[in-house]
Structure formats: C-alpha cells, structure tokens
Homo-oligomer: A and B are copies of this chain.
C-alpha cells in the first residue's frame, strides 16, 4: 500500500474554505496519510480534525507550509502535480513506481515551478473541471479501486444501507 500525501498550493482561506475542505476530506476518504496546505488556516484544521476525531483514521493536516518548493524538492518519492495540461492519468500511473507519493493540487493559478519540480504533471482529463474531482479520481485509480474499502474504525461508523441511514456511534 502506497504512502500518499497531498499538498494544496495557493489556498486563500476566505475564498477557498469549502473547496479546500473537500480536497482534504477526499484525500482522507481515498486513503491519503495527510494534507499540507501552504496558507495558515486554523479553522480548516479544526474542521478536518473534527471529522478525523469522529470518523477515525490517523489523517494529518498541517497548514502554513509556506516553503512548498523546498518540500516538493526534498520529498523522497514521486511528486504528481494534477493539472489539466498534463499527461493522461493512465499513462502516468503505468510509469509510477515509488511507494511514496506526493500529490500536488493548486487552487488558483499554479506557479511554473510546480510544473518543473513535479515528477509527473498529470491530467485527469484535459478538460477544466475540479481539483477535488481530479484528486479523488487520481487516488481511486492509483489504488486500483481498493482505496474505498479501507477501514477507519472511528467512533462514528456508517453502515451501507439501501434506503435511509444506519449509523453506529460509540459516544451515544
């Protein structure tokens, strides 16, 4: 099982609050170990840690990671930058070999250095859509579909159900 980290570039707390929360929660749900966000955002940290506290797993979040170029440069694994300008996701995955992967997703316009520092610039389709969608589909394909069967063993557990809701909550 690969160890996957996500780096979110250019997060603007007021404007990107919800989309970055979606990025972080998708990263967790699809099996990543944690997310690093370039801008400091205590509220985002609180939200994500709240979900981890209730639903389990050991997902980490760190915000205010300003030296992202250094981080990309020194990462001891493959660095995948998701961009609609990159190579097709299947072509990239077939070339990946490292057990440790950093997935970089930008908010607004991504600085050229990100393209240069990445091992692979990867397009989940060469169409404009969403970094949340791109991240989830990339992680889903990278795991060969296995990522969604991960057990989180949280205090709150949702059980698959045809209609309505089945929730187990140890704190109740």
Contacts and interface: CB of A to CB of B under 8 A. Distances in A.
A133 B136 CA distance: 5
Interface in A94-128: 112, 115-116, 118, 121, 123-128
Interface string A76-94: 0000000011111111000
Given A136-B136, A158-B85, A163 B121 contact: yes
A61 interface: no
A133 B18 contact: no
Most chain B CB within 10 A, of A30, A116, A136, is at A136
B124 A148 contact: yes
A141 interface: yes
Interface of A: 18-19, 22-23, 25-26, 28-30, 51, 55, 84-91, 112, 115-116, 118, 121, 123-130, 132-137, 140-141, 145, 148, 152, 157-167
